[in-house]
Structure 1
Amino acid sequence: MLRTALRNVLAHKARLLMTTLAVLLGVAFVSGTLVFTSTISEAFQRSAERSLTHVDLAIQPDADSEAAEDDPRGAANLDQALLDQVAALPGVAAATGEVTGFAALADKEGDLVGDGWSTTGANYYAGPDGAGTDARYPMTEGRAPAGPGEIAIDSHTAERTGYQVGDTARVSVNGPVREESVTGVFTTEDGTVAAGGSLVLYDTATAQELFALPGEFTRITLEAADGTSQAGLFDAVEPLLPADAEAMTGQELADEQAADIEATTSGMRTGLLAFAGISLFVGIFIIANTFTMLVAQRTRELALLRAVGASRRQVTRSVLIEALAVGVVAGLSGFAAGVGIAAGFRSLMDSFGLTVPEGPLVVSGSAVLASLVVAVVVTMLAAYLPARRAAKIPPVAAMNSVHAAPTVRGLLVRNTIGALLAGAGAALVIAGIDRDDSGATMGGGAALLVIGVFVLTPLLSRPVIALASPLLRVFGVSGKLARLNAVRNPRRTAATASALMIGLTLITGLTVIAGTVSNAIEKMAAQTLSSDYVVSMANFAPLSPEVAETLAEQPGVTGVSGLRASPARVAGGDDTEMLTGVNGAAIGNLVSPEFTEGSFAGLAGENAVVDTATAESLGLGMGDSFDVTYEDGQQGRLTITGLYEDSEMMRGVILDNATLDPHLDRIEDFQVMVSTVDGATDEVKQALEAALGDNPAILVQDEEDVAEDIAYIFTLMLNMLYGLLAMAVVVAVLGVINTLAMSVFERRQEIGMLRAIGLDRRSTKRMVRIESIVIALFGGVLGVGLGVFFGWAVGEMMRGSLATYEFLLPWDRLAVFLLLATLVGVLAALWPARRAARLNMLEAIKAD
C-alpha cells in the first residue's frame, strides 16, 4: 500500500501541483514571518546589549510608585544632588546623568531626518566638571558639544545627510528652528539609530534646558568598580532613592529591553501569522477538493484494492500517505521560499530607510519544524475526509459506478448543521453590539457565521447561481452548459467558492469599517473645529509658546490659541483629570463644540467650561464651583460657566491659559489653533509656514489636511492588509484552476461528445471560462455580503464612542471587489479552458 500510494503521487504529480503550491505559499509566509521577526528581534537585542555595556545600575523615575500616583505630575525627574550622592558611593567607578527628548534634525534640503519618534536628542555627559568624556558616544570626528549652539550627530545620520564638522544644521526641539553648529560625529550602539533614526547631542546644560529643567536628569547610570557586583551596587544605592524613583541592575535593564523588543516583534509576528493562517485555511479547501476528485477518479482502482483484500484502514492510510508526501514536499519548499521572503523583507525595510542593526538571518530549528508540521498537518487534515469517504465505498458499488454521488441524507444533515451554525453566529454578532467584552462575543459569532455559511454553500449555490441565468442566456449553449456544470456538484462548487469568500469577507469588512470610521472622524473635526489651521509638531510633541506668539504677529491672523494640558485633581477626586488651557478671548472663534448650557463667553479668571460626561461623573452642574489641585500642588477653585458635549476632538475641563500658566513647570502647547481673514488658502498656509522658518518638524494643517491625514492612516492600514490578504486571493485562484482542470479531466468524455456533435473550440473555451466566472462570482457575492454585515456590526458597536457615526457603503470599492472576483474567474480559466478545447474528440469519447 505504501508503494501504491507513492506511485499514485508520481502518477498524479501534475494534478497535485496546485495543491502543493497552495500549501507552499502559506508555509512560506509562516516560515518567512518566523525567520524575519527572529532576525529583527535578535539584531535589536544584540544592539541593546551592546548599548548597556557600561551600565551596571540604572536609576529612573518610577511612574507606578505610590508617591507618583499621589502627585498629579507623576514621577519627578532625578536631580543633581542624587547624582552627586551615588557618584560618591564606594564601588561606583563612574556615574552618568542622562537627559533625552525629541530633536528633529533637517537635512541640507530641509527635509526631516529620522523616522518620527526616532528623531532623538540627548546630552553628552562630560563629567561633573565638563572635562571628561562620555563612554556612550565615542567621537570619530571633531569634538563633543561644549555650549549653546553646538551639537554632535551620529555617524549614520552624518553619512545620510552629508553633514561634516563645521557645518550648520537646522534643528527643532519644540517648534522654533535652531541654527546649530556641528562640532563632532560619534558612533553609538543605539538600536533606534541603526533602524533609521537620528541622534543629536547637546552639552548637558543645554540638553537640560531643552528636554527637562536645569539640574534635572531623566536617568542616571552607574558603572561598578572592580570587585563590586551589580547586586552589591543596588544594595548601596537603594537607601538613597527618592520615593518616586527605582533602580534596576544592568541585567534587569537588558532583560526588560529584551522583553519590550520581544513584545514588539511578537505583535508583528502574530499579525503576519494570522494572514498566513488565512491563506492556509483557504488552502484546505483546495486540498480537500483535489483529493476528493482524485479519489472519485480512482474509485474503481480503490474498489479493486478492496476486492483483493485491502482493508478500509489500508485504503484510508494510502490516501493519507499521498497527502503526507505532498505536505513534506510543500513544507520543505515553503521553508526555503520563506527564508528568501525574510531576506526580501529585510531588503525592503532598508530601501524605505527602516534599516535593521547588522546581523545574520536567524534560521532556528523551530522555524524548520513549524514549516514541516504546518504543511503536513494542514494537508493530511484536509485529505482525511476524502480518504474516509473512499474507504467506505463498497467494492461492488464502486466497480459499477465511477462517480458515487453524495446521498440526499448527507446533504440534509449538512444543511441542518449549517443553518444552526449560521443562525447562532448571526445572533451572537448582533448580541455583541451592545456587550462590553472587547468584541469577544462578536468575534466568536463572526467565526460561527462564516463556518455556517461555508457549510451551507452547497445549498446556496443553486439559487444564487440561478440568479445569473438571464445573463448567461446571452452566451447561448455555452452559457447554459456553464451554469449546469457549476451546479452539477454543489459540494465542489461550494468548496471552491468558499476559498475566495473568506478573503473577500475580510477585505470587505475592513474596507467598510475604515470608510465609516474615517467619515465619522472627518465630520467630527468639521463640526468641532472653526479655526482655519491647526499647528502641531510632526510627532505631536509639545510646542514652545513662541510658536503661538509668532503666529499672532502675522498679518491677516485674527485669532490664535495655544492648547495646553496639565494634570490635576478635580473636585476632591482621587483620579487625575487633564485640564486644558486656552486663550479664553479667542477660543470661541476657533472651536465650536455643542453647548448644552452656557458658552465660552466669560472664560477668564476662575471660570471654566466642562463636558457633560465629566460634570455628571463629578456631580456638578451649571454655575457650580469645585476645588482643583494643580500640578504644582497649589489649591484653586473654579466655577462652571458652560457645559458642552464631549467628542474625540475635545473633552474635559477647559480654562484660560492666564489662570493655568502660573502652575506649570514648563509652559508648552500641544496644539495651536489659528484663524485668518482670508480663510484656508495655499498662500496663507505658505505664509504661516515661512513665518515659522519652513520647519520640517511643524505641521500647519487646514481642515482638508486633517481629513487627508485621517484618511492616510486608514488607507495605509488597508493597503497593508490588502497586500497581505492578496495571498489568500492567490490561493483561491489556484483553487479555481485546480477544480476546473480536474473537472475538465473528469468530464473529458462529455466534452469530447459535445465537440463531436458541433461545439467548436471557441465555444468550449467560453463554456469553461463562464463556469469559472460563475463560481468566482458566487464566492465574491457571499464574501462581499458577509463583509458588509460584519462592517455594519462593528460600526454599530462603535456608535456609542463616535457621535458622528453614520453607516456608509463604499459602493465603488464593492464594485471593484466583484470585478476582482470576475478577474479571478477569467485568469483561473485560461489553462483549463485551453486544455478542454484541445482535447482529441475520439480519444476523449473512448477514454475510460
Structure 2
Amino acid sequence: MFRTALRNVLAHKARLLMTVLAVMLGVAFVSGTLVFTSTISDAYTKSSEKGFDHVDVQIRPDDDKDAGRPGGAPRLSQDLLNKAAAVPGVERATGSVSGFAALADKKGKLVGDGFTTNGANYYGDDDPRYPMKSGEAPRTANEIAIDAKTAERTGYGVGDTVRMSVDGPVLDQKVTGVFTTDDGNVAAGGTLVLFDTKTAQQLFAKPGQFTEISLEAAAGTSQAQLKQATEKVLPAETEAVTGQKLADDEAAEIKSGMSGMRTFMLAFAGIALFVGIFLIANTFTMLVAQRTKELALLRAVGASRRQVTRSVLAEATTVGLIAAAVGLGAGIGIGAGLRSLMSAAGQTVPDGPVIVSPATIAASLIVGVVVTVLAAWLPARRAAKIPPVAAMSSVHAKATTRSLVIRNTIGSLLSAAGAALVIGAMSMSDGKAAMGGGAALLLIGVFVLTPLLSRPLIAAAAPVLRIFGVAGKLARQNAVRNPRRTAATASALMIGLTLITGLTVIAGGVSKGIDKMATGSLKSDYVVSMANFSPLNPEVDKKVAEVPGVTATSPLRNAPVSIDGDEQYLTGVNGKTIGDLTSLDFNSGSFAGLSGDKAVVDQKTADKEGWKTGDTVPLTYQDGKRGQLEISGIYEGNEMVKGIMLDTATLTPHLDRPTDMQLFVKMKGGESDANKDTLEKALGDNPAIAVQDKQDVADGVAGMINMLLYMLYSLLGMAVVIAVLGVINTLAMSVFERQQEIAMLRAIGLDRRRVKRMVRLESLTISLFGGVLGLGLGVFFGWAVGDLIKGAGLGTYEMVLPWGRMGLFLAAAAVVGVIAALWPARRAARLNMLAAIKAE
C-alpha cells in the first residue's frame, strides 16, 4: 500500500503542485519567522555581551527597596563612587549618567531612531567603554563626541559644529572626537552623544550624581568576590549586580522582545496554514473522488479500510515532507532577506550569522507534515467507507440529505453560539478572551454553513450571469453543483477578507475616534512636545509665552506622589489658562479657581478611588512632604487629558527637576502656517521638538495605525495568495472531472471562447461569494471589537464603514477569481473533444 501511495504521488504531480505550494508558503512563513527572530536575537545578545566587557560589578538604585517612595530611588553620589573605587579588588570605578539627546543632521532633521537617541558621559581621561577613533574626548560644556556610525551617516567629523537638544533648548556643540562602541542601540540605528561628566550631570541629573557606577575587577578577583566586597559599602536603596547577571538579564529581555514579535508573526503563519487546510482538503477530496474505482478495486482484492486510509495518508505525508523541505529552504532565505531588508531601510542590525536552529528545522518539518495529514484525514476516511461494489459500479452517492441536515444543524448551533459569545463579550469589562473564542466559533460555524449559503447567494447573481448567455447559466450551475467544494474554496478567501475587513473597520474607527477626541477636547491651537515624547524643559513654556501672538499657554507637568500608599501621578497645569485651552465636560465643579490645594480629577479615577467633589485627599509629594488636595471638580477624561490636575505653582516646589510632557498653546489668528512657523523659529527650528496642531496630532496617531495596518495587510497577503492557489486548484481539477461534459458541450456548438468564459465566470462567482461573506463577517467583528474598545473606557473609537476600501476588497476578490481562472479556462478550451468523450 505504501508503494501504491508513492506511485499515486508520482502519477498526480501536476494535481498536487498547488497543495505543495500552499504548504510550502505556510512553512516558509513559519521557518522564516523563526530564522529571522533567532538571528536578530542572537546578534543583539552578542552585541549586549560586548557592552559589558568592562563591567564586573555594577552599582545601581534598588527600585524594589524603594517601591513606596514617589519618584523612585535617589541617584548615586560622588561619595559612593569614591568608596567603591577604594574597595579591595577594584581595578577601575566608572560613574555613568545618561538620558535623551537629539542630534540634528546637516539638513536639520532628527538623526537616529527617536527612543534610541541617547547622551552619556565620557568618564575621566581614558574611558575604556568608548575608544576614540579620531580626535579626543569632550572636556568643556560646548564639546561633544559622536559615535562612528552616526558620523558615517551624517558626514560629521572632528571640528564640525552641530545642533542638538536634550530637553528643549537648542545647543550648538563642537565635535571633538569620534568613538566606537558596542552599544546595541547604536548598532540598531540609534545615536550616542558623549559629554564630559560635569556637563552630562547638569543635563541629565544633578551635579555630583550618577545613574550607575561600574566596577572593573583587578586580576585574580572574581565577579562574585567583588560583588560581596562592594555590598559592604553600599548605602540603603542601592544594590550590586555582577556583569554576568546584567548580560544575562539583557539577553532575557531581548529574547522576551523577540518572543513577542515571533508570536505575532507566527499567528499570521498559522492563519496562512489554516487557509491552506481548505486547499489541501479540497485537493485530496477530488483526488479520492477521481480514484474511487481504483480504491474500490484495492478493497476488492483484500485491502482493508484501514489500509486504504493509510494509503491516502501516506500520500499526504509524502507531499507534506516535500513541501516542508522546500518551505524550510525558502524560509531560511526569507529570514536572511528580512534582515537585509531592515539594513536597506536604515534599521541597522548588529553583525552576526544567520541562525538556523534544530528547533526551527523540526518545527518546519512537523508543521508541514501535520497540516497536510490533518487536512487529508477526512477525505481518506471517506474513501475507506465507500462499499467496493458500489464504487466499481459508479453508484456511490453524493452526500445524503441526512448528512446535510446534520451539517447545517451543527453549523447553525456553532454560528449562534459564536455570535452570542461575541455580543456578550461587548458588555464585559475584559472580554478579549470571550470575543476571540466567539469569533473563532462564528467563523467555523459559517464555514460549516457555507454549502447551505452558497445556493441562495450564488442564485442572487443569476440576473447578472444571464447577460453572458449560455456560458453564464452554465457557470452558475457549475458553481452550485458541488456545494461542499464551492464552500471549501470560497471559505479560504472568506477568512482572509474577514480579517482584512475587520482590521480596516477597527483602524478606521480608532482613527475617527482619535480625530474627534483631538478636535473635541482641545481649544489650544498647538501642542508642543519632544519628538520622542521624553520630558520637555520648563524653559520652553517660558520662551513660548514670550512669542508675539501667543495668548495662552499651559504645561502638562507630571509628577509622582503617594496616595494611601499607592504611587499615582499628578499633572500640573496653569490654573488660570487651562480652561481656555481644553474643552472638557465636567460632571461637577469646573476649572474655576484651580489654585492652591484645589484639584480636578477625571471621572474614571474618581470612581476607582471613591472620590466626589468637596472631598479632601491626603498625599505625600516627591520630596517627602505631606499635603492634601481638595477635589473641586470631576470631568470626563480621555486619552489626551486625564488624571488629577492641579496648579503648577502648588506642584513645582516639590519637584527636584521639573519637566513637562506637553505644552498647550493658543495664538491670535488660530491655526495657520505663519503661526506654526513663528513658534518653530522661536524654538530654534529644533529637531527634537514637535509643534503640532490638532490635525497633526490626529494624523500622527492615524499614520501609526495605517502603518501597522499596511504591515498586517502584507502578512495577511500570504493567506490570500494561498486562497488564490485554492481557487486555481479547484477549477483545474473540476475541469479534469468534467472533461467529458465539456467535450460534449464543444461537440454541440459551445465554442472555445464561451468555454473559457464559462470557467472564468464560475471562478468569479465563487470568489465573489467568498468575498461577500468575508466583508459581512469583517464588518460584524469590527463593530463588536469597536464596542469592546469603548466599553474598556478608552473612548477612542467611533464606528465608521470604509466603503471605498471595502469596494476595493470586493474588486480584489473579483480579480482573484479572474486570475485564478486563466490556466483552468485555457486548459478547458484546449481539450481534445474525441479523446475526452472516449475517456472514462
TM-score by length of 2: 0.98
- 1:61-100 equivalences under 5 Å are 61-65=61-65, 68-100=66-98
Contact 1:300/1:402 (CA < 8 Å) preserved in 2? Answer: no
Aligned to 1:52: 52
Q: In 2, distance between residues paired with 1:584 and 1:99?
A: 35
Give the letter for the 1:465 counterpart: I
**Aligned equivalents of 1:730 and 1:805: distance in 2?**
31
AA in 1 matched with 2:592: A
Distance in 2 separating the partners of 1:502 and 1:621:
49
Residue of structure 2 equivalent to 1:726 = 717
Segments of 4+ moved more than 6 angstroms:
none
Match of 1:107 among 91, 99, 105: 105
Identical residues among aligned pairs (%):
67
Give 2:267's match in structure 1, choosing from 261, 274, 279.
274
Q: Secondary structure at the match of 1:651?
A: coil
* Structure-to-structure mapping, 1:316-335, within 5 angstroms: 316-335=309-328
Q: Do structure 1's residue 600 and structure 2's residue 591 form an aligned pair? A: yes
Q: Please, what is the CA RMSD of the aligned residues?
A: 1.5
Q: Give distance in 1, aligned partners of 2:152 and 2:468.
A: 65
**Counterpart-to-counterpart distance in 2, 1:24 and 1:357:** 30
Q: Report the Cα distance in structure 2 between the residues aligned to 1:449 and 1:207, rounded to whole angstroms.
A: 58
State the shift of 1:412 in Å.
Answer: 2.0
Equivalent residue letter for 1:56: D
Instruction: State the AA in 2 paired with 1:414.
Output: R
Please state how far the C-alpha of 1:434 moved relative to its aligned partner.
2.2
Which is worse superposed, 415-424 or 400-409?
400-409
2:519 touches 2:695 (CA, 8 Å); kept in 1? Answer: no
Aligned pairs for 1:540-551 (under 5 A) are: 540-551=533-544
1:819 and 2:811 are equivalent in the alignment: yes
2:704 aligned with 1:713? yes
Q: Distance in 1 between matches of 2:353 and 2:720?
A: 32
* Structure 1 position 773, deviation (Å): 1.0
Distance across 1 between alignment mates of 2:488 and 2:145: 63
Amino acid at match of 1:37: T
Q: Residues 634-653 of structure 1: CA distance to partner in whole angstroms, max 9, x if unpaired?
A: 22333333332222222222
Question: What is the match of residue 28 of structure 2?
Answer: 28
Per the TM alignment, residue 806 of structure 1 is displaced from its structure 2 partner at its CA by 3.0
Task: Report matched runs for 1:236-255 at 5 Å.
Answer: 236-255=229-248
Contact 1:296-1:404 within 8 A present in 2 as well = no
The alpha-carbon distance between structure 1 residues 613 and 23, as it changes in their structure 2 partners (threshold 3 A), is closer
Distance 1:142 1:557 in 2: 45
What does residue 119 of structure 1 align with?
Answer: 117
1:568 aligns with: 561
Paired residue type of 2:531: A
**Letter paired with 1:597:** S
Equivalent position SS for 2:269: helix
Cα distance in structure 2, aligned partners of 1:496 and 1:612: 51
Q: Secondary structure at the match of 2:59?
A: strand
- CA drift at 1:617: 4.2
Give distance in 1, aligned partners of 2:21 and 2:603: 59
1:775 to 748, 766, 775: 766
Output aligned runs, 1:432-471, within 5 Å.
432-437=425-430, 439-471=432-464
Identify if the C-alpha distance between structure 1 residues 486 and 106 changes in structure 2 by more than 3 Å, giving closer, same or farther. same
Q: Distance in 2 between matches of 1:289 and 1:804?
A: 43
Identify which of 351, 359, 366 aligns with 1:373.
366
Letter in 2 for 1:16: L
**Alignment-derived partner of residue 525 in structure 2:** 532
Task: Evaluate the alpha carbon distance shift between residue 620 and residue 746 of structure 1 in structure 2; reply closer, same or farther with a 3 A threshold.
Answer: closer
Select which of 832, 835, 845 maps to 2:837. 845
Shift of 1:402: 7.5
More displaced, 797-806 or 382-391?
Answer: 797-806
- Answering whether residue 152 of structure 2 is matched by residue 159 of structure 1, we say yes
CA distance in 1, matches of 2:60, 2:753: 77
1:274 Cα deviation from its structure 2 partner: 0.8
Counterpart residue type for residue 358 of structure 2: G
Contact 2:69/2:562 (CA < 8 Å) preserved in 1?
no
**Does residue 2 of structure 1 match 2:33?**
no
Taking the TM superposition and a 5 Å limit, the aligned residue runs for 1:166-205 are 166-205=159-198
8 Å contact kept, 1:141–1:186: yes
CA deviations over 1:122-166 (Å, ceiling 9, x no partner): 11111xxxxx31111111101111120110011111111111111
Query: SS at the partner of 2:81?
Result: helix
How far apart are the structure 2 equivalents of 1:609 and 1:384?
65
Cα offset, 1:512, TM superposition: 1.2
Contact kept in structure 1, 2:58 and 2:243, CA below 8 Å = yes
Measured after TM superposition, the shift of residue 357 of structure 1 is 0.4
Deviation at 1:616, TM superposition (A): 4.2
- Structure 2 distance, partners of 1:410, 1:664, is 74
For 1:23-65, what per-residue CA distance to the aligned partner results, in whole angstroms no more than 9, with x for missing partners? 1101111111111111000000000111111111112223232
Distance 1:244 1:839 in 2: 84
Relative to 1, partners in 2 of residues 1:820 and 1:287: Cα closer, same or farther, differing over 3 Å?
A: same
Preserved CA contact (<8 Å) 1:297 1:403: no
Secondary structure, counterpart of 1:15 in structure 2 = helix
CA contact (8 A) 1:503 1:783 kept: yes
2:802 corresponding residue in structure 1: 810
Moved more, 242-251 or 363-372: 242-251
How many pairs are equivalent? 839
Residue identity opposite 1:825 in structure 2: G
Q: What aligned pairs does 1:692-703 form with structure 2 within 5 A after superposition?
A: 692-703=683-694
Give the distance between the partners of 2:64 and 2:458, measured in 1 at CA. Answer: 61
Stretches of structure 1 that go unaligned for 5 or more consecutive residues are: 127-131
User: For 1:729-772, what per-residue CA distance to the aligned partner results, in whole angstroms no more than 9, with x for missing partners?
Assistant: 00000000000000001000111111111111111111111111
Structure 1 distance, partners of 2:110, 2:799, is 38
Tell me the SS of whatever aligns to 2:534.
coil
**Aligned-pair distance for 1:403?**
6.5
Residue 766 (structure 1) aligned to one of 750, 757, 761 = 757
Structure 2 CA distance, aligned partners of 1:781 and 1:619? 49
Distance 2:606 2:428 in 1: 25
Tell me the equivalent position of 2:626: 635
Aligned equivalents of 2:376 and 2:614: distance in 1? 73
1:445 Cα deviation from its structure 2 partner: 1.3
Aligned residues of 1:296 and 1:402 also touching (Cα < 8 A):
no
Q: Which moved more, 1:68-77 or 1:752-761?
A: 68-77
Cα distance in 2 between the residues matched to 1:63 and 1:517: 36
Moved more, 325-334 or 241-250: 241-250
Give the whole-Å Cα distance in 2 for the aligned partners of 1:334 and 1:425. Answer: 34
- Deviation, 1:247, is 2.1
Match of 1:129 in 2: none
SS in 1 for 2:91: strand
Choose which of 402, 416, 420 in structure 1 pairs with 2:409. Answer: 416
TM-score of the superposition, structure 1-length normalised? Answer: 0.97
Q: Does 1:668 align with 2:659?
A: yes
1:805-834 deviation per Cα after TM superposition (whole angstroms, max 9, x unaligned): 432222222211111111111111111111
Which runs of 5 or more structure 2 residues have no equivalent in the other structure? Answer: none
Distance 1:618 1:739 in 2: 61
Q: What amino acid is the match of 2:84?
A: V
Q: 1:841 Cα deviation (Å)? A: 1.7
Give, in angstroms, the shift of residue 615 of structure 1.
3.6
